[in-house]
Chains A and B, each alone.
Chain A
């Protein structure tokens, strides 16, 4: 009895059905949750307060003052990024372009953040 036969003999017909449905579920969940909704607004925060809320439809450059200096945020073709920031490690700048709702770039040292939101509040699958 080789291992392939061993597996065959222990898996019943309904088990294959369950496995198939399981794969289907996982694929659907992945498609649903990882295809983020297109964002249409950017919320820019400074020191925890909303500094500005701008639509992504218009290309614009915004300068946000923080405790270390000025962070520059660019909005272009429905995307947003922090172009320059005085923070030492530059994490938020290296994050690059944000384009899906829910994405966020945070410059902690300069207390500046950019968060993208969609037209509707996103629900997750945990709400039954």
Chain B
């Protein structure tokens, strides 16, 4: 009897996607421990990873990392295919669509902060659309939009600044960041 094995060949790119998605997943878990005043208002720290991947490796890999994070995250929290999962998914898909467009803005003028803000707005727009079309088809949810939009702007900006800092630091020196005074640029 021969044991049948399925062998998947993973490229280095695949390994990289997996690593980045794992980091994003870690940030998702971390941020779930932070209490939120309103369900749905979250910093979205995992998007920092998406932004960095977008900048360094392009949109395709950013999409992989983002969608893997959503799916693996939902498995981790036990809400795969539950409403919360579809909200995350719609947010991620809309963000990626926004990033696909905003990444073509001239890089000289527009950086990670712009991408982050636009993606955050797209994220909330996508989620509100799913909420309205599927979960709560009542115009009353329009009253929540200003709250979510404000949160998107604030967290989008902060995440964008963090991502821009990481992008400005070359990958191999980022580990030496804590040794004092060795990497003054």
Measuring CB to CB, which residues of chain A are less than 8 angstroms from any residue of chain B? 1, 6-7, 9-15, 17-19, 22-23, 25-26, 29-30, 33-34, 102, 122-126
Which residues of B are found within 8 Å of A15, using beta-carbon distances? 110-111, 113-114, 117, 160
Measuring CB to CB, which residues of chain B are less than 8 angstroms from any residue of chain A? 105-106, 108-114, 117-118, 121, 128-129, 132, 139-143, 145-146, 149-150, 153, 156-157, 160-161, 164-165, 167-168, 184-185
Which residues of B are found within 8 Å of A23, using beta-carbon distances? 153
* B interface: dominant SS: helix
Q: Which residue of A lies closest to B150 (CB)?
A: A26
Which residues of A are found within 8 Å of B129, using beta-carbon distances? 126
Cβ A14 vs Cβ B106 within 8 A: yes
Cβ B113 vs Cβ A25 within 8 A: no
Cβ B142 vs Cβ A33 within 8 A: yes
Q: Which residue of B lies closest to A102 (CB)?
A: B140
Cβ B113 vs Cβ A22 within 8 A: no
What would be 26 A-B contacts, judged by CB atoms less than 8 Å apart?
A10-B168, A11-B113, A11-B164, A12-B109, A12-B111, A12-B113, A14-B106, A15-B110, A15-B160, A18-B114, A18-B118, A19-B117, A22-B117, A22-B153, A26-B146, A26-B150, A29-B146, A30-B149, A30-B150, A33-B142, A34-B143, A122-B139, A124-B139, A125-B142, A125-B145, A126-B142
Cβ A11 vs Cβ B111 within 8 A: yes
Choice from A10, A14, A34 contacting B109 with Cβ under 8 Å: A14
Q: Known pairs A19-B117, A124-B139; list 9 more (Cβ under 8 Å).
A: A7-B161, A10-B167, A12-B109, A13-B109, A15-B110, A19-B113, A19-B153, A34-B143, A102-B140
Cβ A33 vs Cβ B109 within 8 A: no
